[in-house]
Amino acid sequence: MPTAAHSSTAASSTGADSLHVACPHCDTLNRVPVARLGGGKCGRCGQPLFEGKPVALDGRRFAAHAERGDLPLLIDFWAEWCGPCRMMAPVFTQAAGQLEPQVRLAKVDTEAAPDLAARFGIRSIPSLVLVHHGREIARTAGAMPLPALVGWVRQSLGR
């Protein structure tokens, strides 16, 4: 892995010319100019870096997106058996369409990745946790409508 991935810790959210964006397909960190953030393709696999939908993360893929990438990551902790989670799913996908490319949205299946659920102390689902550079910024529990969800994220990020 290139060591350049760790070079822009201080200037990531404001004023930086470029950001490190983890590819939603292969997890490669791509350096993307802020001005062209929404239109980039992955330098390794050639697929779009933003497609207006959440990326499903497990413990193996988590660090690239939540810790090494420069984008804030909004994580939906869910499970197949959870009715409110299934109701939340289309709202969360719509939120990705509104919040990308400033925020990456991710889904973590708490059954498939109990290690991540434990690490974040998830006690009820759905739980939404907003993370930047591996640090939790905000969280909320329970389903919510799209405008409230998007508003909560923007407010939490101070935008």
42 labelled catalytic: no
The least distance separating Zn ion from the CB of residue 147, rounded to whole angstroms, comes to 32
Binds Zn ion (CB under 5 A): choice among 45, 87, 118, 148: 45
Site for Zn ion contains 23 (CB under 5 A): yes
The answer to whether residue 45 is catalytic is no
Is residue 66 close enough to count as binding Zn ion by CB under 5 A?
no
Ordered strands of the 127-132 beta sheet: 55-56, 104-109, 73-78, 127-132, 135-141
Nearer Cβ to Zn ion (66/85): 66
Asked whether the beta carbons of 17 and 34 are under 8 A apart, the reply is yes
Strands 104-109 and 29-33: unpaired
**Cα–Cα distance for residue pair 20/157, rounded to 1 Å:** 18
The reply to whether 42 sits near Zn ion by the rule CB under 5 A is yes
Smaller CB separation from Zn ion, 66 or 125: 66
Q: Which residues are catalytic?
A: 82, 85
